[in-house]
Amino acid sequence: GEDVEQSLFLSVREGDSSVINCTYTDSSSTYLYWYKQEPGAGLQLLTYIFSNMDMKQDQRLTVLLNKKDKHLSLRIADTQTGDSAIYFCAEIGFSGNTGKLIFGQGTTLQVKP
Amino acid sequence: DAGVIQSPRHEVTEMGQEVTLRCKPISGHNSLFWYRQTMMRGLELLIYFNNNVPIDDSGMPEDRFSAKMPNASFSTLKIQPSEPRDSAVYFCASSFAGRDEQFFGPGTRLTVL
């Protein structure tokens, strides 16, 4: 079945770059997503990448996709204390013909001043 | 739009009591998801509905859990009887279609004593 795996914790200093990694299993997933969960809140879509792309850049965020290795990463440049949150990657899984998102366990990013 | 609305935001109850969590999805969305989040198990998909019909309830932990979606604008997740190990944050999310971006509610923090 589908499975998405992430490392659980990452600590960086303010101003450094953060790289959060994710591996997934379903090679047919057309989109791959990154969600952010701030303390006490629900998940919010941060960015996504279409499966025919290798890279997507959005301001301080860079998403890299290696389809051969089924590896997805999220790079945050110039990490700020406000970036401290849990980051979830997600792929699309299916029950019959109905799609749903399969989330990883989440990576807690701690940004030290 | 007010986004996904969940109630109550916090619930404290005693073991053995019935608990009902409520969700109002974003108007026009036809897929609704119930998740549970704990430190130990991370984010778990409990059940999801498409056009008010349950599609996949394989994540529902046991018969004490039940979910309904009587119409497109309302869903409930019921736990009867509740147990301390049910203590978690329960999120509801909705989307236009199962594979699309999901919009999460603020969650209900449940504590079972």
pLDDT digits 0-9 by tens, A42-51: 999 999 998 8
Residue-wise pLDDT tens for chain B (113 aa)?
689 999 999 999 999 999 999 999 999 999 999 999 998 888 889 999 999 999 889 899 889 999 999 999 999 999 999 999 999 999 999 998 766 788 999 999 999 99
Q: Is A33 on the interface with B (CB under 8 A)?
A: yes
Pick from B55, B91, B102: which is nearest to A101 by CB? B102
Pick from B55, B104, B105: which is nearest to A95 by CB? B55
User: Is residue B50 within 8 Å of A98, Cβ to Cβ?
Assistant: yes
Q: How far is B42 from chain A (nearest CA, A)?
A: 5
Pick from B50, B55, B104: which is nearest to A43 by CB? B104
Which residue from A74, A93, A72 is spatially nearest to A85, judged by alpha carbons? A74
Indicate if the pLDDT at residue A26 is higher than 90: no
Confidence of residue A102 (pLDDT cuts 50, 70, 90): confident
Burial string for B57-67 (b: 16+ CB within 10 Å, else e) reads beebeeeebeb
Cα separation, B74 vs A58, in Å, equals 35
Q: How many CB pairs (< 8 A) connect A and B?
A: 52
Instruction: Give pLDDT, residue A92.
Output: 79
What's the gap between Cα A6 and its chain centre? Answer: 9
Cα separation, B44 vs B37, in Å, equals 6
Instruction: Give pLDDT, residue A101.
Output: 83
Cα separation, A77 vs B19, in Å, equals 44
Instruction: Give pLDDT, residue B41.
Output: 85
Looking at every residue in chain A, the average pLDDT score rounds to 90
Q: Cα dist. B76→A8, B60, B69 in Å?
A: 31, 13, 7
Q: Is A44 on the interface with B (CB under 8 A)?
A: yes
pLDDT digits (tens, 9 = 90+) for A66-81: 999 999 999 999 999 9
Burial (CB count <10 Å: 0-12, 13-18, 19+), residue B3: middle
Most confident region among A3-7, A97-101, B108-112 by mean pLDDT: B108-112
Confidence of residue A98 (pLDDT cuts 50, 70, 90): low
Which chain B residues contact residue A43 at CB under 8 A? 43, 91, 93, 102, 104
User: Is residue A90 within 8 Å of A68, Cβ to Cβ?
Assistant: no
Q: For residue B41, give every residue at least 6 positions away whose Cβ sits within 8 Å of its Cβ, in sequence order, or none.
A: none
Q: For residue A103, give every residue at least 6 positions away whose Cβ sits within 8 Å of its Cβ, in sequence order, or none.
A: A4, A35, A88, A89, A90, B42, B43, B45
